[in-house]
Amino acid sequence: MNTTLHRLLPLAAIVALAACGQGTGTTDAGGEGDADAVAEDTVYTGSITVYQGVERDSAELCAVVAESYPPQCAGLPVTGWDWEAVEHEEASGVRWGTFVVTGTFDGKAFTVTGDPLTMDEIDLADHPELQYTEPEIGDPAEDLGAAELEAFGTELAEQFPSLVFGSFPDEASGVLVTDVLLVSPELEAYAAEHFPEDAVAFAPVLRPVEE
């Protein structure tokens, strides 16, 4: 069966970045498992596809979806998800839908802390946090070429496979723009430790809820 990969960004999808280089789909959090480095009390929100395959034990958050029918994806495990509480699509034992989700991240899984909403249940004018915004581009501490930036993207995808789903070098600014499900404290710390200052800019699907 031929499939097409579809990237979902916050609210998405319509204002997508031109990206390349997708992270590997897996539920292994890789470098994300250091609980001491993760601020579990940070609450994130955003719109994203929630998916559960026939052989999966839990639902997953998916930023990259293969447009087969039913769709296919592998993403970040979700705890506290109740399919019976939300309207969703189902085919051949696969369940999925696009929802506004709110919850926390412990380095391995996303825990739902608020009632998920379908896109039909909200007025986008009342939710500016769901609109796509360009990532903040800083002034890199070093002049970097496309090959170096692409290597950074490969490394991030390998270290954080359940968070990083795409990246591309913005050669005009010398910055790697990296599409991520969310920016965990450990992901941010890893980039700060391993790459030149301001060499990586993150574009998250889920963002911290402002108090």
- pLDDT 10s digit of each residue in the chain, 211 long? 433 334 443 333 322 322 333 333 333 444 544 444 445 689 999 999 999 999 888 999 998 899 899 999 988 999 999 999 999 999 999 999 999 999 999 999 999 999 999 888 887 777 777 777 788 888 888 899 999 999 999 999 999 999 999 999 998 899 999 999 999 999 999 999 999 999 999 999 999 987 5
Question: Distance between terminal CA atoms of the chain?
Answer: 46
Is the pTM above the cut of 0.85?
Answer: no
Q: How far apart are CA 163 and CA 187, in angstroms?
A: 9
- State the Cα–Cα distance between residues 100 and 55, nearest whole angstrom: 24
Sign of the four-CA dihedral 8, 9, 11, 14: negative
The single residue listed with the structure tokens 């250091």 is 34
Name the nearest CA neighbour of 22 among 119, 208, 154. Answer: 154
- The angle that helices 146-159 and 185-194 make with each other, rounded to 10 degrees, is 140
Question: What length does the chain have?
Answer: 211
Number of H helices and E strands in the chain, helices first, is 2, 13
DSSP letter at 128 equals G
Nearest by Cα to 44 from 182, 178, 161, 163: 182
Write out the two tokens for 199: 């060499």
